Amino acid sequence: MPELPEVETVRRGLEPWVTATRIERVTLNRPDLRFPFPEGFAEKLAGATIVSVGRRAKYLLFRLSNGLIWLSHLGMTGSYRFAGHIFKEPSRYYEPVIDPKHDHVVMELTHPEHGALTLIYADPRRFGFMDLFRDEADSPFLRGLGPEPLSNAFNAAEMAGRFAGKKAPMKAALLDQRVVAGLGNIYVSEALHRAHILPTRAAGALVPKPGVRPAELEALAKGVRAVLEEAIEAGGSTLRDFRAADGTTGYFQHHFAVYDREGEPCPTPGCVGTIQRIVQSGRSTYFCPVCQH
């Protein structure tokens, strides 16, 4: 499943190609993805210009000149690509090759410099979805989301407020989207390892007495930021067939410190531990029992 760094990579890949493009025509090859497309989706997008491509948690947010925001969630297998003619041979026009089974949304765009582009959204398993609204506050997907992990709003003091008195294990606490938005299973394991905190510890146990510096939560905020930034830097990572928005396939294999590394030596310098796997709330957690406390 694409996590935040992959979504950010897709956003960065799309941005130069779709910003300032006019949406000429939208073809939906089926009525729904995980959810039905919003009423009049194709008609409302047609004629608008894409002003910007943003991201909130794992949602792509395309701001349109008609005041609407088009939200896209990639689910498990969602991907964007452009019709081959742009990248393969700029001098010749290629009729875009559409796979009617998996290419659910086809958009004809006009870019002020690149000219006609076809943007295709494919999603074999259809866990992705799209929405359209005027204000972020109107979206049930965005309402109630906690701070962006890469923003200053995500910090030790904020976490201390949320974690005080909480018995939930750290793993679950960090997967709670009200605590931090967009953090998924892989990067929770990675961030806890980076901060040397056990995933099984009660969240409330990391909150110090009033007046005491929340050193562990500071390390955690730093760890979350570091693992995400490194993954974005590496171009994201993938465990499934997922395509960067520029049409490149395969994807950069990001190196994880603990995720999917059960039985391997802990990469923390000087640590003699071996990575272990446990299951929490039905999902795998990886950690080092020696350097995580």
Euclidean distance between the first and final Cα of the chain, in Å?
A: 28
CB of 218 to Zn ion, least distance (A): 20
Active site residue 81: no
CB of 267 to Zn ion, least distance (A): 8
Catalytic residue among 12, 44, 126, 283: 283
Q: How many CB atoms lie within 10 A of CB 201?
A: 17
The answer to the question of residue 288 lying near Zn ion (CB under 5 A) is yes
CB of 285 to Zn ion, least distance (A): 14
**Site residues (CB under 5 A) for Zn ion, limited to 236-275:** 266, 268, 271, 273
Active site residue 3: yes
Who's near 133: CB < 8 A, 6+ residues apart? Answer: 68, 69, 71, 139
Active site residue 218: no
Residue in this structure with the two tokens 């394991």, named with its chain if needed: 189
**Binding residue count for Zn ion, defined by CB under 5 A:** 7
Active site residue 125: no
- Do 128 and 34 contact (CB within 8 A), yes or no? yes
CB of 226 to Zn ion, least distance (A): 16
C-alpha–C-alpha distance, residues 240 and 1, integer Å: 7
The answer to the question of residue 290 lying near Zn ion (CB under 5 A) is yes
Between 64 and 275, CB nearer to Zn ion: 275
- Do 244 and 251 contact (CB within 8 A), yes or no? yes
Please report the sign of the dihedral spanned by the C-alpha atoms of residue 104, residue 140, residue 176, residue 61: positive
Of the candidate spans 32-40, 113-121, 251-259, 284-292, the one that interacts with Zn ion by CB under 5 A turns out to be 284-292
Q: Determine the 3-state secondary structure of 85 from DSSP.
A: helix
Catalytic residue among 6, 11, 56, 58: 58
Q: Which residues bind Zn ion (CB under 5 A)?
A: 266, 268, 271, 273, 288, 290-291
- Residues identified as active-site: 2-3, 58, 283
